[in-house]
């Protein structure tokens, strides 16, 4: 493993990907040098690293770009395919993308202010809805784009983990999430971002508010609002109840997206429960606050 990479990043890659991750880390410095020569890039020091190598880069004519490299996996493949389908409409533009190689070069948004810094919650919600409307489109099913049915396997793993029960998860919330997936149209092929929360929507001085880091999910557009309801976890103003804040967001989303509020509420519960399970599955902790949001949604 390269000493130039943070130790915690290297451990995380190996924890998630095992031996292929270790080989990828060994090859990463050479891959960066190869891409610098191939595309005439100047790759700058990386951003803080989590599960992919991400760094600002300067193109041959001074273009502001971002280089993202990762161990090829369904999440990164879905991101590259989705960005190609979005074609820069509501999302960052792809300069180069290689799903099989886990290589992505995109435009760099400047100043790149995240939506989470917009203090007016109603305004932020309206801006998010406007990005959603631009992104959603009907596309043919293709390898690499996952469906809501695929994501729903997480709920089945939850049941398997606890021998048909729910373990520490509230049984009524798990049942609501399962019911919502069962009721969703199985034939929906609308391409969604799939993880459109406040920190995945950035401001660009030339092109306005744009999405980054899509998951690339095919399914019912109602699913899209889920991440916006809990990630980051809502910070309620003084004397404002969490349920009041969530209701206000849902009312704005229902109006802006012309979708029934009740359906959006149910999708919000689904995404909260699923995300909480993912946290439990991956880390064994950190899931409780998201379940609190699910409970507040169920109590509306």
Give catalytic residue positions.
195
Closest Cα to residue 63, out of 89, 103, 92, 101?
A: 92
Torsion of CA 74, 97, 196, 66, to 10 degrees: 120
- Secondary structure in 3-state letters for 104-116: EEEECCCEEEEHH
Name the helix (H) or strand (E) containing 218: strand 217-218
Q: Which residues contact 164 (CB under 8 A, 6 or more apart)?
A: none
Q: Three-state DSSP class for 227?
A: helix
Task: State both tokens at 57.
Answer: 């880069």
């Amino acid at each position: 493993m390269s000493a130039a990479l943070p130790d915690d990043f290297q451990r995380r890659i190996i924890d998630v990907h095992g031996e292929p991750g270790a080989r990828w880390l060994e090859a990463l410095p050479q891959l960066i040098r190869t891409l610098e020569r191939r595309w005439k890039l100047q790759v700058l020091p990386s951003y803080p690293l989590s599960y992919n190598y991400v760094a600002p880069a300067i193109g041959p004519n001074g273009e502001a770009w971002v280089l993202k490299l990762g161990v090829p996996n369904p999440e990164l493949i879905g991101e590259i395919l989705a960005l190609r389908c979005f074609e820069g409409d509501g999302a960052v533009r792809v300069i180069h993308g290689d799903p099989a190689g886990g290589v992505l070069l995109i435009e760099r948004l400047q100043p790149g202010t995240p939506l989470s810094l917009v203090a007016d919650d109603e305004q932020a919600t309206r801006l998010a809805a406007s990005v959603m409307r631009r992104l959603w489109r009907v596309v043919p099913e293709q390898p690499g784009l996952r469906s809501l049915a695929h994501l729903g396997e997480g709920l089945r793993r939850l049941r398997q983990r606890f021998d048909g029960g729910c373990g520490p998860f509230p049984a009524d919330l798990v049942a609501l999430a399962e019911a919502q997936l069962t009721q969703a149209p199985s034939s929906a092929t609308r391409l969604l971002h799939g993880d459109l929360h406040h920190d995945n929507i950035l401001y660009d001085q030339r092109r306005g508010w744009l999405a980054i880091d899509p998951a690339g999910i095919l399914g019912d557009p109602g699913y899209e609002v889920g991440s916006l309801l809990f990630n980051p976890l809502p910070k309620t103003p003084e004397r404002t109840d969490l349920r009041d804040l969530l209701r206000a967001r849902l009312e704005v989303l229902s109006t802006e997206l012309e979708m029934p509020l009740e359906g959006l509420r149910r999708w919000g519960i689904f995404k909260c429960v699923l995300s909480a399970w993912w946290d439990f599955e991956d880390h064994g902790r950190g899931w409780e606050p998201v379940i609190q949001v699910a409970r507040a949604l169920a109590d509306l």
